[in-house]
Amino acid sequence: MSRPRLLLAIVLVALLLFSMFGEHAFAGTFSYYHAVLIQIGINIILGASLNLVNGYTGQFSLGHAGFMAVGAYASASWSDHVDRIFWGVLKDPALVDKLKIPAELVKALNPGGFLNPFAVNGVFLVSLLVGGLLAAFAGLIVGIPSLRLRGDYLAIMTLGFGEIIRTAILNIDFLGASRGYNGIAPYTNLFWTYGVAAVCIYVVLVLVNSTYGRGFLTVRDDEIAAEAMGINTTKYKVIAFVIGAFFAGIAGALFAHYVGFLTPEGFNFFKSVEVVVIVVLGGMGSTAGVVLTAAMLTLLSEAQRALAHTSFVPPQYRGLLENRLILYSLLLIVFMLTRPQGLFGDLSAVRKRLTPKTAKQKT
Amino acid sequence: MEQVTLFLQQLLNGLSLGSIYALIALGYTMVYGVLRFINFAHGDVYMLGAFTGFFVAPQVAKVFTNGKDDSFTMQNTFSILAGAGTVMLVSMIVCAVVGVLIERIAYRPLRERPRLNVLITAIGVSLFLQNMTQYFVGADPKAFPQLIPVQAIPGLGDLTLLTTQAAIIGSTIVLLAVLWFIVMKTKLGMAMRALSVNPTACSMMGVNNDVVISFTFALGSALAAAAAVLVSLDSPSISPMMGNMPGIKAFVAAVLGGIGNIPGAALGGLMIGVLETLVVGYLRPELRDAIAYAILIVILLFKPTGLLGKVEREKV
């Protein structure tokens, strides 16, 4: 087993054990910290997936919140409709008889009053995948026409599609339209959040170090040269875009099953900008940097909110701290002016310098 | 007959809306012409123009009524026009300064960097302006003071042309003429045109590129401020986020006309305004904002250079 795969397996098993034995008590006692941890996990997934598009492939997308919205609504709607039928059948003996479902299966899934946790999580996995796949499909539809464009045009185009997705949801009645969608089952826990985050990071890293990754990097570094070398640039761009959209969709699904309530306003342009801030500050094309920044920014905005309500801050300045977009916009400007590689952007360069020369020659 | 009148009426409304988009689109297109990047913060300069007008108008009214009154209740036509003109002029000057400052602080240090960095900075500037304005004036919409009395202009038969709409269309024509004069007949305008063709050659000919770029930002921002004051005559509700939608629509107008092309921006603005009014009038009002995106997607897919734009060869 290769090292990244082994690491992924260890992380997943550790998370599983924790969520089986410790999470319930932890979530009960430290519910605030639990919420912040979930938020960090979701932001890590969003940042790492957008980094694949913006950082590694160099395609500036401003529509990540749109794909998150597709995933969130699709998964919420799926859970709401399909889960209800599934569990409804299992709980109703008359229906079980009528559909001739084996008694052992019913007993395993629904052992007397409470539902088998494995079955619940299995159902949630399906729901997450539904969200992710629909978002990936949306990414494909948006990506194929718009990825022929470059730079600023692509940014505007993805912004436009993100807004179109949001406007569409606003006009779909069974998704709650402007009233919002509520009553989503609270399935999300630390295992799923960080499990998906680990898988997402793993997928991004493995992809980037594969032939596909070379394709992504060539497209970013010089699209014309890449095309001249016979690389199908649109194909690589679309692949990166679809995978990014897939994980954004799953992040949306996790978000939906954590907060239990969705509004189209939660997925507007500013949500996309928040993810862009994570990627830019983390250093475009540095997964470790983006993961660290996702955690730091989430903690920072929590700290900011907490600080705003202490006596250290005069009431008239409270608004400055409560509106995190003021801080985010300043961070964007200052970083672009002084440190465009982001906080951790050149860590890989440092690591290269630290490796002994003999090892370097080998590769 | 009734149908024809209705259609002409929609066209007239579209023309006044389109004039606004045209004025904003000129800022996008001129900046793109000289710097090859989309100034995301342009819509927010427009918003600042409206708020400058909002705060300046009472002061101007005081001056015009010798300190007796701070609302525009003048009776004779001359003082109404002079008052509204002063408010617009002050707002244009303030925004020109803001535009130059934005370029100086946020964009100039990045001139040699990849365009993506400038784009990210521009998004940052846009959000910063919006949220700082929101912090200072609050998020709720404010009522812009009525600078000129809203009446229908008599003698047009079944058509209604409001004084405000006439003011919008008239001012736009004047501003476009002034802009044409500046760009085509002055040395700075010639330098602007030269810069958009080839920056290096332009500076070799003794043009100070920085001055020209600053001037372009000043010109574009002043036009946006004029558009903001004009739009506030017609629909007097202003808020810190008001620049977003007109900003995007004006950008679409600039792309439709061929970005970098000045007559194209004016044409594109008018077309977007008329199309939007027709869609709202004949199809569904909910599509008001979607139509701009739809147009953008169609142009970018089929004719990315726009109606009047030239094909630019990519050099390696």
Q: So where are chain A's domains? A: 3-362
Q: How far apart are CA A253 and CA A232, in angstroms?
A: 32
Q: Is the pLDDT of residue A145 over 90?
A: no
Tokens of A42: 């979701």
Q: Is the pLDDT of residue A203 over 60?
A: yes
pLDDT at B179: 93
What's the whole-number mean pLDDT along residues A79-93? 79
Q: Is the pLDDT of residue A314 over 80?
A: no
Q: Does B91 reside within a domain? A: yes
The mean-pLDDT minimum among A314-328, B6-20, B97-111, B220-234 falls in A314-328
pLDDT at B312: 64
Q: Is the pLDDT of residue A6 over 90?
A: no
The sign of the CA dihedral B286, B292, B295, B297 is: negative
Q: Do B68 and B34 form a contact (C-beta atoms < 8 A)?
A: no
Give the rounded distance of the alpha carbon of A210 from its chain centre: 22
Q: Do A254 and A196 form a contact (C-beta atoms < 8 A)?
A: yes
Residues of A in contact with B316 (CB under 8 A): 224-225
Q: Could you say which of B120, B135, B300 has the minimum Cβ distance to residue A332?
A: B120
Q: How far apart are CA A362 and CA A360, in angstroms?
A: 5
Q: How far apart are CA A20 and CA A29, in angstroms?
A: 16
pLDDT at A363: 43
What's the whole-number mean pLDDT along residues A1-24? 75
What b/e readout covers B46-84, taking b as 16+ CB neighbours within 10 angstroms?
Answer: bbbbbbbbbebbeebbeebbeeeeeebebeeeeebeebb
Q: What's the number of domains chain B is made of?
A: 1
Q: Does B95 reside within a domain? A: yes
DSSP A71-113: HHHHHHHHIIIIIHHHHHHHH-HHHHHHHT--HHHHHHHS-TT
Is the model more confident about B80 or about B106? B106
Stretch (H or E) spanning A41: helix A31-50
A233-242, A308-317, B115-124: which is most confident: A233-242
Fold of the A3-362 domain: ABC transporter involved in vitamin B12 uptake, BtuC (1.10.3470)
Rounded to the nearest integer, the mean pLDDT of chain B is: 87
Q: Is the pLDDT of residue A349 over 60?
A: no
DSSP state of A52: I
Query: Domain of B199?
Result: 23-241
Contact A325 B131 (CB under 8 A): yes
Q: Quote the percentage of chain A above a pLDDT of 70.
A: 92
Task: Report the candidate in A108, A107, A15, A56 with the shortest Cα–Cα distance to residue A214.
Answer: A56
- What HEC string does B227-260 produce? HHHHHHHHCCEECCCCCHHHHHHHHHHHHHHCCC
Rounded to the nearest integer, the mean pLDDT of chain A is: 83
Q: Is the pLDDT of residue B151 over 90?
A: no
Is the model more confident about B62 or about B108? B108
pLDDT at B101: 95
Contact B123 A332 (CB under 8 A): yes
What's the whole-number mean pLDDT along residues B206-228? 93
Task: Report the candidate in A174, A168, A172, A192 with the shortest Cα–Cα distance to residue A117.
Answer: A192
ipTM of the complex: 0.83
pLDDT at A1: 54
> CB-based contacts of A86: which residues, under 8 Å, 6+ apart?
A123
Collapsing DSSP to helix, strand or coil, B206 comes out as coil
Collapsing DSSP to helix, strand or coil, A357 comes out as helix
pLDDT at A19: 72
Q: Is the pLDDT of residue A350 over 80?
A: no
Task: Report the candidate in B174, B194, B169 with the shortest Cα–Cα distance to residue B184.
Answer: B194
Q: Could you say which of A153, A270, A325 has the minimum Cβ distance to residue B300?
A: A153
DSSP state of B67: T
Rounded to 5°, the CA angle A274-A155-A145 comes to 125
User: Parallel, antiparallel, or unpaired: how do β-strands A181-182 and A261-262 relate?
Assistant: antiparallel
> CB-based contacts of A326: which residues, under 8 Å, 6+ apart?
A320, B128, B131, B132, B135
Query: Chain A within 8 Å of B125 (Cβ-Cβ)?
Result: yes
Q: Is the pLDDT of residue A360 over 50?
A: no
Contact B113 A340 (CB under 8 A): yes
Q: Does B223 reside within a domain? A: yes
CA distance B101 to chain A (A): 14
Q: Do B93 and B53 form a contact (C-beta atoms < 8 A)?
A: no
Task: Report the candidate in A342, A139, A296 with the shortest Cα–Cα distance to residue B120.
Answer: A342
Please name every residue paired with B143 in a beta bridge, in sequence order, or none if there are none: B237
Query: Chain A within 8 Å of B204 (Cβ-Cβ)?
Result: no
Query: Chain B within 8 Å of A317 (Cβ-Cβ)?
Result: no
Is the model more confident about B161 or about B97? B97
Q: Do B158 and B168 form a contact (C-beta atoms < 8 A)?
A: no
Task: Report the candidate in A199, A200, A204, A228 with the shortest Cα–Cα distance to residue A216.
Answer: A204
Half-sphere exposure of A300 (CA within 13 A, CB side): 16
Burial of A306 (0-12, 13-18, 19+ CB in 10 A): exposed
> CB-based contacts of A37: which residues, under 8 Å, 6+ apart?
A190, A193
User: Parallel, antiparallel, or unpaired: how do β-strands A261-262 and B142-143 relate?
Assistant: unpaired
What's the whole-number mean pLDDT along residues A109-124? 72
- Amino acid A102 reads P
Interface test with A, best of B39, B123, B133 (most A CBs within 10 A): B123
- Could you identify the residue written with the tokens 């229908």? B152
Q: Is the pLDDT of residue A216 over 80?
A: yes
Q: Is the pLDDT of residue A205 over 50?
A: yes
Whether the pTM exceeds 0.80: the reply is yes
